[in-house]
Amino acid sequence: MRGRQGIALRGDEDSGKFTFFDPVKNDGNFRTLLRFRMKDDPIMKDIFERSAGNAQYCSPRIQNELIDICGQLITEKIVDQDKSANCYTILADETTDISRQEQMALGLQFVYSETLQIREEFIEFAVVEDLTGESLGQFILSRIEKLGLDMKLCRGQGYDGAPNMNGHLSGAQAFISSKYPLGKYVHCIAHSLNLVLTDSSKIAEIKHCTMVIREAVNFFLKRSAILKTYIALNLKGLCETRWVERHDAIQISKQLIVPIFKALEEIETDGDSVTFSKARSLLNKILSLNYIVTLIVMDFFLGYTLIYLSKLLQSKNIDMLCAFSASKV
């Protein structure tokens, strides 16, 4: 249940002997659910009451072992379903976690034989040390071999456009294709959409509009109280990596044009000379016809690409024909 609902197990203080009363500090969902279950299960409660403090099997280490076991069982079930399809596609993406450690997210796409539906399943996060194309290719092959899958049945590779992944000479896809040529590489279409939108940002009007939005966000960062006197919403910063995720920030900026105008007028009246100068400059930019028209156009097109196209291209059941048809709209 916790895995399906995405609920964490651990709490602030979940070590030591299990208690039957609610502790002062949060001891996590695992122990809380055990405590809740014991209210209707006297046998379980009796077992815990008679067990030694070091034999209750609800410590953080035991919780992690339970998570690992559940993960192994789920992975084995996914792999069995994949094998029944007799062909599959490898999906992989490298990323850096919060500790700046390089990791690779590995997934599989296949047609589930019982329902004849396309399935896309996450398999694991795995730490990678070498980010060269050949090393990443070897790494992917080693993980597929560890899962017990036959690479001769691989019919596709899906990665983003990073040179070490999609390079036609030294990328991971080229290394794998040289050994298993039936595994055709397809550039992630959702990533291609993001690249198209990134190229559009080179247009002068769009560059100016995004610059003004950033300037407004930074200006009201320490003056949000003044803005909140006119509206409860806060300005939102622009996503630096994914253009399709900028829609929320652009939509909020469009909605807040009037409150921003009123807040800037107030700051002009009450602020010092430096603040007055910044507020006047920002006000002139926001009230320019060029900025307003560009903001409305960006809101319209990014609304379409995020709400419809981007989510459609990343859906689990989409096929190539549907992807290309939607992209032409």
The 10s digit of each residue's pLDDT in 242-254 is 666 677 888 888 8
pLDDT of res. 292: 92
Most confident option among 118-132, 269-283, 299-313: 118-132
Spatial separation of the C-alpha atoms in residues 159 and 188, rounded to whole Å: 6
Instruction: Give the confidence band of 91 by pLDDT, cuts at 50, 70, 90.
Output: very high
pLDDT average, residue stretch 291-318: 79
* Minimum mean pLDDT range among 22-36, 82-96, 274-288: 22-36
* Minimum mean pLDDT range among 47-56, 104-113, 146-155, 289-298: 47-56
Helices and strands, counts by H and E, the chain: 16, 5
The 10s digit of each residue's pLDDT in 114-167 is 888 888 899 988 888 888 889 999 999 999 999 999 999 999 999 887 888 888
Give me the chain's average pLDDT, please: 83
pLDDT average, residue stretch 262-279: 82
pTM beyond 0.95: the answer is: no
Spatial separation of the C-alpha atoms in residues 222 and 235, rounded to whole Å: 12
pLDDT of res. 135: 92
pLDDT of res. 307: 64
pLDDT of res. 55: 73
Spatial separation of the C-alpha atoms in residues 305 and 310, rounded to whole Å: 5
Spatial separation of the C-alpha atoms in residues 88 and 113, rounded to whole Å: 12
pLDDT average, residue stretch 189-203: 76
Structure tokens at 154: 């691989």
Instruction: Tell me whether strands 102-112 and 117-127 are parallel, antiparallel or unpaired.
Output: antiparallel
pLDDT average, residue stretch 211-231: 84
Q: Are 288 and 266 in contact (CB under 8 A)?
A: no
Please say if the pLDDT value at position 203 is more than 90.
Answer: no
Q: The domain 81-187 is classified under which CATH number: 3.40.50.720, 3.30.1360.150, 3.40.50.10800, 3.30.420.40?
A: 3.30.420.40
pLDDT of res. 27: 79
Please say if the pLDDT value at position 88 is more than 70.
Answer: yes
* Minimum mean pLDDT range among 62-66, 218-222, 241-245: 241-245
Please say if the pLDDT value at position 45 is more than 90.
Answer: no
Instruction: Give the confidence band of 65 by pLDDT, cuts at 50, 70, 90.
Output: confident
The DSSP secondary-structure symbol of 153 reads: G
pLDDT average, residue stretch 192-199: 76
Could you tell me where in the chain the CATH 3.30.420.40 domains are found?
A: 81-187
